[in-house]
Structure 1
Amino acid sequence: MEQRHLGRTGLRVSRLGLGTMTWSRDTDEHEAAEQLRDFVDAGGTLLDTSASYADGGAEELIGTLLGDVVARDEVVLCTKAGVRRTGSGAVVDGSRGALLTSLDASLARLGTDHVDLFLVQSPDPRTPLDETVSALRLAVTSGRARYVGLANHAGWQVARAATLLEGDTGLAAVEAEYSLLQRGVEREVLPAAAALGVGALAWSPLGRGVLTGKYRRTIPADSRAASPHLAGFVEPYLGRDSAAVVEAVATAADGLERTPLEVALAWLRGRPGVSSAVVGARTAAQLRGSLASEDLELPVELRRALDEVSAPEVGYPERF
């Protein structure tokens, strides 16, 4: 599998990353172990998780697998902080204390003394960005993280954080949702990242599973859209606005004698600035479907057609 530099840093990540949002909840330890083994055997390195996934359960599961299934140094370990669970639900907290406390707890669950990449999962309107960035700087200088970045932040926040970290720690990455069904990051986030040498990690590159084509006719009983805790996550992409894109991907897949999943991943891998597409498979069989896309390069004409059918609306001030 191709290894790409994360922005202008020396850190290299596999162009396909393994997400773990379902681990320890919908994906048990046996499926997770098989996924991790298959992923590393295929040349994958980027393992993406978060303190918020299954309330820390995903990190705990990863901690049991590192060393037994694969060696710690075989993966580029990325975790996120900034969303904590309270009695009244999830709360965004980008304060220095909350981020560093979360990182320490993540390291304990993961059974390691450092992560390769530490991200702030969500912007916190109640905490100054300068304070949030100071936690990222301390994570690196204390040795708890090798590189740092942001997730789900706006373009101006990426630019401001990169400026604040310029000259010492550096901002290595921005992780954002990006697929043929969600191209909003092309307006400001990706241009800012490219200008500042920040690598882009794309989460949900399959449009929350919709680009696999599984929902074209009905909602399978064993799918995320039928799951009590994930149905709301998938629902935004099940409407008419997405249907034309899904059909275009399915038509392209038929013509290439490949699957819609493979076409969607191949399209995203070729987008400028994308260092890695992070897929979150529930089962090992699903992951193998994503790994099968590695040899697919889309013809220029087909790529252009998919660009056109999925083009986001762009107006003032991005286009003047």
Structure 2
Amino acid sequence: MEQRRVGRTGLTVSSLGLGTMTWGRDTDEHEAADQLTAFVDAGGTLLDTAASYGGGAAEELLGALLGDRVDREDVVLCSKAGVRRRPGGPGVDASRGNLLDTLDATLARLNTDHLDLWLVQAPDPVTPLEETVSALAHAVRTGRTRYVGLSNHPAWATAQAATLLAAERTGLAAVECEYSLLERGIEREVVPAADALGFGVLAWSPLGRGVLTGKYRRSVPADSRAASPHLRGFVEPYLTERAHGVVEAVATAAEGLDRSTLEVALAWVRDAAPVASAVVGARTAAQLRGALKAVDLDLPPAIRAALDDVTAPMLGYPERR
């Protein structure tokens, strides 16, 4: 698997990352171990998790496997903080205290003394960005993480954070955003900001929350996320007529290449500039192995151009005049 630099930093990650959102909940320890083994055997290095995944269960499970199935120094550990459990449900809290407390708990669960990349998971409308950034810079200075970044933040906030971090002598290494043939919104401003400021992009849900695998072309499988009580709402926004048209276009391209719909959709994201890694979250090892088949697929320019045209995001003032 190709190893890539994250933006203009020295951090190197595999072109496909392993997501762990379902670990400890829908993915048990045996499936997780099989996933990790298959991923590392394929040359994968980037392991993506978050303190909020399963209330910490995903990190705990990953930590138990590190040292057993894979050496810590052979992988790139990325985790996220800033989503906190509250009586009324999870809420965003990117305050300095919560971020640093969460980071310490993350390190304990992962059985490591540092992360390679630490991200703020979502924008906090209450906490000043200066406070959030101060926690990121402190984490780097104290050695608890090597690099920092943001996830799911708009371009203006990302650019502001990059400026604030530069003043702290700490760079903004990466942003992690949803990006797929069904969601290309980051191309409006986040991608140009990445080009200008030098941070890398990690793409989460490159398969359109599973819809671009083609599994929903005819119906909703009983064992799918769309049939799951706690993940149904995550998938439903892409079970639309527009999404169906995109899936059919990808399926047509896949048939012409004698590859799967999943492989074509994943290869498109993986090789879109400036993506450093496309993070794949599979529930089972079999699903992950299907995604890993895309490693050797280079989309012909004509097919990439056709998919670009079918799925191009709406651009207008002020992005385009």
Give the TM-score, by structure 2 length.
Answer: 0.99
| Structure 1 partner of 2:148 | 148
Aligned partners of 1:183, 1:315: CA distance in 2, in Å? 14
The answer for the alignment partner of 1:279 in structure 2 is 280
Given that 1:23 and 1:32 are in contact with CA atoms closer than 8 Å, whether structure 2 keeps it comes out as yes
Corresponding position of 1:295:
296
Amino acid in the other structure paired with 2:189: E
Aligned to 1:105: 105
| Alignment pair present for 1:221 and 2:208 | no
* Counterpart position of 2:188: 187
Q: Secondary structure at the match of 2:172?
A: coil
Q: SS where residue 89 of structure 1 aligns?
A: coil
Q: Which residue of 1 aligns with 2:307?
A: 306
Secondary structure of 2:278's counterpart equals strand
Q: What does residue 138 of structure 1 align with?
A: 138
- RMSD of aligned C-alpha atoms? 0.6
Distance 2:285 2:243 in 1: 27
Q: Deviations over 1:77-129 (max 9, x none)?
A: 00000001112100100111110000001011111110100000000010111
* Cα distance between partner residues in 2 of 1:108 and 1:128: 28
Q: C-alpha separation between the residues in 2 aligned to 1:56 and 1:272? A: 32
Residue in structure 1 matched with residue 35 of structure 2 by the alignment: 35
- Name 1:245's counterpart in structure 2: 246
**In the alignment, which residue of structure 2 is the partner of 1:7?**
7
1:241 CA displacement: 1.5
- Whichever residue aligns with residue 4 of structure 2, its letter is R
Give percent identity, aligned residues only. 72
State the 1:270 CA deviation. Answer: 1.6
Measure, in 1, the Cα distance between the counterparts of 2:84 and 2:19: 19
Shift of 1:290: 0.7
Q: CA deviation at 1:315?
A: 0.8
2:234 is matched with: 233
| Structure 1 CA distance for aligned equivalents of residues 73 and 38 of structure 2 | 16
Query: Match for 2:261: what amino acid?
Result: P
Q: Deviations over 1:232-274 (max 9, x none)?
A: 0000000112111100000000111100000001111121110
Conserved in 2, the CA contact under 8 Å of 1:248 and 1:306? Answer: yes
Q: CA deviation at 1:74?
A: 1.2
Task: Classify the secondary structure of the residue corresponding to 1:27.
Answer: coil
Q: Could you say which residue in structure 1 is the equivalent of 2:263?
A: 262
Could you say which residue in structure 2 is the equivalent of 1:196?
Answer: 197
The residue aligned with 2:71 is 71
Are the aligned partners of 1:78 and 1:116 in contact in 2 as well (CA < 8 Å)?
yes
State the match for 1:117 in structure 2.
Answer: 117
**Could you say which residue in structure 1 is the equivalent of 2:320?**
319
For residue 81 of structure 1, what is the amino acid of its counterpart?
A: A
User: What stretches of structure 2 of length at least 5 have no aligned partner?
Assistant: none
**Structure-1 separation of matches of 2:118 and 2:154:** 18
CA contact under 8 A between 1:46 and 1:76: conserved in structure 2? yes
Q: C-alpha distance in 2, partners of 1:199/1:75?
A: 18
Is the Cα–Cα contact under 8 Å of residues 158 and 193 in structure 1 kept in the other structure?
Answer: no
2:94 aligns to what SS in structure 1? coil
TM-score by length of 1: 0.99
* Counterparts of 2:99 and 2:195, CA distance in 1: 26
Give 3-state SS (helix, strand or coil) of 1:221's partner: coil
Q: Distance in 2 between matches of 1:297 and 1:62?
A: 31
Q: In 1, distance between residues paired with 2:158 and 2:194?
A: 7
1:260 corresponds to which letter in structure 2?
A: T
Q: CA deviation at 1:164?
A: 1.0
In structure 1, runs of 5+ residues without a counterpart are none
Deviation at 1:49, TM superposition (A): 0.1
Q: Distance in 1 between matches of 2:50 and 2:31?
A: 19
2:239 maps to a residue whose letter is: L
Query: Which residue identity is paired with 2:36?
Result: L
Corresponding residue number in structure 2 for 1:164: 164
